Amino acid sequence: MEVFLPIAEVSVNIIAIFSLSGIVGILSGLFGVGGGFLMTPFLIFLGVPPTYAVANEANNILATSVSGSTTHYLKNTLDYKMGMMIVVGGAIGTLIGIYTFTYFKGIGKIDVVISLAYMYILAIIGTAMLVEGLGEIDKARKKIFVKKKLHVHYWIHGLPLRMRFQKSKLYESAFTPIIIGLFVGFIAAIMGIGGAFILVPAMIYIIGMPTKLIPGTSLFVTIFVSIIVTFLHSINYGSIDLILVAMLVAGSIIGVQCGQKIGESVDSTGLKTLLAILLLLVGIAIAYDSFFAEEIIRETTKVDTKNLNSFSQFIKRLSNEVPFLYSLFSIIFAVSLGIAGAFIRRFFSNLRKKYFPKKN
Amino acid sequence: MPDLIKKIPLEIKKNKIKTSIFLGLFAYWGLIIVGTFVQFQ
């Protein structure tokens, strides 16, 4: 069942997009990472050009982050002050990232840069997770329990402009979250990912936030970074395709909610190793595609606007004539679906507690 | 150092899975680094 994307000007299989985004959503909900840097390569493999894959996945991440963040807001497990400081850095990092993206696009190397970036990021994350996962399985088998030092002080902890973060019970430099946000924003702009794989370890080991506040705060930061990335990609390149976004968001919101639910009842140590292997396999696939596969010149059938259906024509006109409004609409669309997803999950959760209470 | 070198075959026999994972990762990283250099030539 193929559908033509009017902005990306390619045909994609609806079921493939929906199922893949659902599966990636489950993994993302289960582990808290892996949504962006799995889905964007999958979109590229399905034939979506890399620049469109990056922009539309950023819009998708906005929806899933809003969904997850709303759940944490309802549970009051968010440090807004810390989140906003990271967002300040994220905004600057995103602007630098978009500037870098524009430069590489101008010299015609953006596809290569995106492929290489994904290859290396997947290799690094996959290797680190595999080594950590195997180590944990080994220690659990040998029944070795190692007390890790949670706080190790680096140069970053000596920076000025210290402030109190009441919710996290921390007193540290504002530059720490700003610098972390800078890296996250930069990578998010280039690769169309949320940046949780940098943010979460940074929050644990560098900032030293309490664990229960980390997922919610990380999702809160991702909302703002994704909004800026989506807006700038839409304004500068006109690469947001609402039809693709709708398919991605529908699959991933359902997937993320299921993944979070599964994560509450499953020991994820062994699954983390499997995810690491999956990331490495996707990295190998990108490497093969980049270095060895013959360049397949995909025939893009230039469809005359008159031949598109009325909805596709409307989207194309909106994107070309009022890009600012179009980008605002795509952001509001993603945010609304995200909030709706969180409240629907809460509704079903309350319904389940009412009619199927847990027996003590 | 000679003792360490003598122990390597024994360690490989004891931990076949770990060795194969290590070799696999080594080959993977080698492939992408070499491929990157070739790509930019």
- Which of A237-246, B18-27, B29-38 shows the highest mean pLDDT? A237-246
Residue A298 is assigned to a structural domain of this protein: no
The residue with greater pLDDT, A293 or A107, is A107
- Which pLDDT score is estimated for A86? 93
Mean pLDDT of A68-80: 82
Phi-psi region of A314 (alpha: psi -120 to 50; beta: other; left: phi over 0): alpha
Residue A212 is assigned to a structural domain of this protein: yes
Question: Is B35 in contact with A290 (Cβ distance < 8 A)?
Answer: yes
- Which pLDDT score is estimated for A105? 86
Sign of CA dihedral A121, A123, A126, A129: negative
Question: Is B32 in contact with A123 (Cβ distance < 8 A)?
Answer: yes
Question: Is B28 in contact with A283 (Cβ distance < 8 A)?
Answer: yes
- Which pLDDT score is estimated for A34? 63
Mean pLDDT of A162-184: 87
Torsion angles phi and psi, residue A308, rounded to 5: -75, 155
Cβ within 8 Å of residue A238, ≥6 positions away: A7, A319, A320, A323
**pLDDT class of A337 with cuts at 50, 70, 90:** confident
Angle, CA A277 vertex, CA A274 and CA A282 arms, to 5°: 125
Residue A23 is assigned to a structural domain of this protein: yes
- Which pLDDT score is estimated for A83? 92
How far apart CA A259 and CA A312 sit, in angstroms, is 33
Q: Give me the domain span that covers residue A83.
A: 2-293+303-348
User: Which of B18, B21, B39 is facing A291, going by the closest CB pair?
Assistant: B39
Residue A319 is assigned to a structural domain of this protein: yes
The residue with greater pLDDT, A288 or A232, is A232
The residue with greater pLDDT, A207 or A157, is A207
Mean pLDDT of A256-260: 80
> Nearest CA to CA, how far is B32 from chain A (Å)?
6
Number of residues in chain B? 41
Q: Could you read off the pLDDT of A29-50 as tens digits, one per residue? A: 777 666 777 888 888 888 888 8
- Which pLDDT score is estimated for B2? 63
Q: Is A356 on the interface with B (CB under 8 A)?
A: no
Residue A359 is assigned to a structural domain of this protein: no
Q: Is A280 on the interface with B (CB under 8 A)?
A: yes
A298 pLDDT higher than 70:
no
A269 pLDDT higher than 70:
no
- Which pLDDT score is estimated for A316? 81
CB A279 within 8 A of CB A122: yes
Residue A27 is assigned to a structural domain of this protein: yes
Question: Is B35 in contact with A284 (Cβ distance < 8 A)?
Answer: no
Residue A219 is assigned to a structural domain of this protein: yes
Mean pLDDT of A87-111: 89
The residue with greater pLDDT, A7 or A358, is A7
- Which pLDDT score is estimated for B36? 82
Question: Is A120 in contact with B39 (Cβ distance < 8 A)?
Answer: no
A289 pLDDT higher than 80:
no
> Which of A204, A232, A206, A193 minimizes the C-alpha distance to A100?
A232
**pLDDT class of A200 with cuts at 50, 70, 90:** confident
Percent pLDDT > 70 in chain A is: 87
Lowest mean pLDDT among A21-25, A110-114, A171-175, A304-308: A304-308
Question: Is A287 in contact with B25 (Cβ distance < 8 A)?
Answer: no
Mean pLDDT of A334-342: 86
Mean pLDDT of B7-20: 68
The helix/strand/coil state of A78 is coil
Q: Could you read off the pLDDT of A307-318 as tens digits, one per residue? A: 667 777 788 888
The helix/strand/coil state of A47 is coil
> Nearest CA to CA, how far is B17 from chain A (Å)?
11
- Which of A173-182, A212-221, A288-297, A298-307 shows the highest mean pLDDT? A173-182
Q: Is A119 on the interface with B (CB under 8 A)?
A: yes
- Which pLDDT score is estimated for A360? 52
Number of residues in chain A? 360
- Which of A6-20, A79-93, A140-154 shows the highest mean pLDDT? A79-93
Q: Is B1 on the interface with A (CB under 8 A)?
A: no
- Which pLDDT score is estimated for A358? 61
How far apart CA A322 and CA A142 sit, in angstroms, is 62
Q: Could you read off the pLDDT of A103-137 as tens digits, one per residue? A: 988 888 888 888 888 888 888 888 887 887 777 77
Question: Token pair of B6, please?
Answer: 């003598």
- How many domains does chain A contain in total? 1
Mean pLDDT of A139-157: 62
Collect all residues of chain B within an 8 Å Cβ-Cβ radius of residue A288.
none
Mean pLDDT of A300-326: 72
Percent pLDDT > 90 in chain B is: 0
